Amino acid sequence: MSEATPARPSPEELDAFRTEVRAWLKDNKPEPPDFQLPDSFMEVGTPEQFEYLRAWQHKVYEAGYIGLTWPKEYGGGGLHGLYQGVVNREMGAANVPFMVNIIGLMWAGPVILQLGTHAQKQRYIQKILSAEEIWCQGFSEPGNGSDLGNAQTTAVRDGDEWVLNGTKIWTSLGTEAKHMILLARTDPGAPSKYKGLTFFLAPVDIPGVHKTPIQKMTGEYGFNETRFEDARIPGDSILGREGEGWSVAMATLMFERGAAEGQAGGLSMVPLRVDDVVQLARECKRDGRPAIEDPEVRAELVRFVMEERALGLCQVRQRIPGLVTERPHAIMMMNKLVGTEFRRRLARFAISLQGANGVLYMGDPDAPDGGHWQRNYMNAFSATIGGGTSQIQKNILGERVLGLAKSY
């Protein structure tokens, strides 16, 4: 982002801004719908869920509360990151819905801003913020998931166009999306599998793109198989350069995993807090007694509170250069792994507080918290698998941060 660094606000300016945001959220928090909302953008399974969430993002955009750090000329706020931080925290505290166009806001948009041409930024950025155009991601294939560099979907140049063939899978928001960030093979004869890849900004509401919804373990929908059969996209759809798709994909994943900054902001999923689990432990009974009286429950709760606090403090320490000299990027690089695994373990633990009633699921009138935790535990795997599995994250951390030899 080429603009001059925006000025750092004074504490008074931030306080005033916080007051404004808080008031706005109070007045504009949407009424809860009469249907169940999803836990994250990866579980948007019905048109009514989608429209509700899209309307909310649009409202937030119009109020100017996302993309605060993005350049003004493309529809952003051109402000210092502290402003967006205030909004994010206030949204978390106010328990408002999350943003729906997450792929656009959190990684497609940032990577376009980082590597795109002026024309591409003009074309795409503002509509990402307003949720007018939804983005999806075409990285994984049935045969190539963790081994993303082995992607086999092909793009062949034909005159002014590229012709796509192949199958992408687990396409979140695939049904609603207008565009896809797509990794495809343009040079099957390249000396290494990584060198033959190119990164596209591809329309997916065009002939030759077939979308098939896939049902999730929870019974809900939210991701697709996306099949390309001679789908023709414009010749200027490349982000970065032909044959350099791998490095663009890596830059994208840095944003996706929270290892690089530049996201538009807003909530990306329903926050899961240890507080809520402490409260649940007070309300639930195990063997006739409040769960919070169980010594093992207490011991585990303490560990969860400690871990949540420590992870929060890591984000503070990360910004103090004198306290991260050993591994300057470790905290950023580990955010994805620790955040998603923490959420999974916490949701599992929350079910265990419910004793015999822990087996009741969403839809049963007696289910504690409406079966929310049971669904939450299942959905937690979307983040420990999607975006690069936890095992792959450990490989990356071991190799890039700890300097150990590559695993295959």
Give me the catalytic one of 141, 176, 220, 256.
256
- Binder among 385, 398, 400, 401 for ligand FAD (CB under 6 A): 385
Residue 29's region, left for phi above 0, alpha for psi from -120 to 50, else beta, is beta
Q: Which is nearer to ligand FAD, 182 or 346 (CB)?
A: 182
Q: Which is nearer to another protein, 289 or 303 (CB)?
A: 303
Handedness of CA 203, 385, 337, 400 (dihedral sign): negative
Tokens at 348, concatenated: 């599992």
CB 27 within 8 A of CB 94: no
Burial degree of 143 (CB within 10 A; 0-12, 13-18, 19+): exposed
Q: Based on the shown chain and the rule CB under 8 A, indicate whether residue 92 belongs to the binding site for another protein.
A: yes
Q: Based on the shown chain and the rule CB under 6 A, indicate whether residue 44 belongs to the binding site for ligand FAD.
A: no
Amino acid identity, position 6: P
Cα 110 to Cα 67: distance, rounded to the nearest angstrom:
10
Q: Based on the shown chain and the rule CB under 8 A, indicate whether residue 401 belongs to the binding site for another protein.
A: yes
Minimum CB–partner distance for residue 345 and another protein (Å): 13
Minimum CB–partner distance for residue 326 and another protein (Å): 6
- Binder among 47, 271, 391, 399 for ligand FAD (CB under 6 A): 391
Handedness of CA 155, 157, 162, 165 (dihedral sign): negative
CB atoms within 10 A of CB 80: 17
CB 373 within 8 A of CB 347: yes
Minimum CB–partner distance for residue 90 and another protein (Å): 5
Cα 368 to Cα 280: distance, rounded to the nearest angstrom:
9
Tokens at 131, concatenated: 């949720």
Q: Which is nearer to ligand FAD, 138 or 368 (CB)?
A: 138
Q: Which segment (169-177, 233-241, 276-284, 325-333) binds ligand FAD by CB under 6 A?
A: 169-177
Q: Which segment (132-140, 166-174, 361-369, 388-396) binds another protein by CB under 8 A?
A: 388-396
Instruction: Identify whether 256 is a catalytic site residue.
Output: yes
Q: Which residues bind another protein (CB under 8 A)?
A: 18, 22, 85, 89-90, 92-94, 275, 278, 282, 292, 298-299, 301-303, 305-307, 309-317, 320, 322-323, 326-327, 330-331, 334, 337-338, 391, 394-395, 397-399, 401-408
Q: Which residues are catalytic?
A: 256
